Amino acid sequence: MMGQDVIIYTTRHNDDRIDIPMREQGMADVMPVSIGNDVWIGGRVIILPGVTIGDGCIIGAGAVVTKDIPPYSVAVGVPAKVVRERK
């Protein structure tokens, strides 16, 4: 289940070279996002490239997921942190 206004990013801007303005460096390679089964994602959550959200997770509204979330976890905040496990 996914709430309103969720954003899932799968690429990022290149910013490696200092001799070229960042706006001219283009996008990096695609970094897929994986979302498991029976996951609830609250409204206005942002999920960054390359993240895996395990089965049975709950992601609280407004969270920014920057790292993998283990299965059956509840994660909230900016950046999202696991606050408890589901049993």
**pLDDT tens-digit readout, 1-37:** 999 999 999 998 888 899 999 889 888 889 999 999 9
- Report the CATH number that the domain containing residue 22 is assigned in CATH: 2.160.10.10
pLDDT digits (tens, 9 = 90+) for 59-87: 999 999 999 999 999 999 999 999 999 99
* Model confidence, pTM: 0.89
Report the DSSP beta bridge partners of residue 86: none
CB of 55 closer than 8 Å to CB of 40: no
> Domain total for the chain?
1
Given the residues 13, 17, 84, 86, select the one marked as catalytic.
13
Instruction: Look up 11 and say whether it is catalytic.
Output: no
CB of 78 closer than 8 Å to CB of 64: yes
- What range does the domain containing 6 cover? 1-87
